[in-house]
Amino acid sequence: MFSFLKPSGPRVERINPADAVAKAAAGEMTVIDVRDASEIRASGKAKGALHIPMVVLQSKADPSHPEHDKNLKTDKPVALYCASGARSQMAGQLMLRLGYGEVYNIGGLGDWRAAGGKVVR
């Protein structure tokens, strides 16, 4: 009845953190930490994750931008996390708009850790 209220097109899906850990370990997925530097210093980051703070994600993720991070490929699945999952959801929306095909939200670093993901300081 109210189908006009439902989002259309690609969406940022939640991914089971254990699946994200396994896919990242196999090299099948790029993991991005969108928290700021002080959060990384306080709690570390997921082993192998790229640290691209939310404030610079627009330029680093845009393939046409001169500051594009060459580790990011629009055709490779991407999973993002932050402290709780809110910023990573917004970051995922941005990445979809930039042309990334598969974008997932892990949630927070605690979700990664609880799923057996290693954290480095």
Residue spans of the domains in the chain: they are: 11-120
Give the CA angle between residues 54, 7, 9 to the nearest 5°: 80
Percent of residues, the chain, with pLDDT higher than 90: 91
Pairing type for strands 45-46 and 119-120 reads: antiparallel
Put residue 116 in one of left, alpha, beta given phi > 0 → left and psi -120 to 50 → alpha. Answer: left
Q: Taking the complete model, does pTM exceed 0.85, yes or no?
A: yes
The residue assigned the tokens 């580790």 is: 71
pLDDT in tens, 46-97: 999 999 999 999 999 999 999 999 999 999 999 999 999 999 999 999 999 9
pLDDT tens by residue, 26-42: 999 999 999 999 999 99
Range 11-120: architecture per CATH? 3-Layer(aba) Sandwich (3.40)
Predicted pLDDT of residue 65: 97
Give the pLDDT of residue 10. 81
CB-CB neighbours of 111 under 10 Å: 21
At 7 the pLDDT is: 57
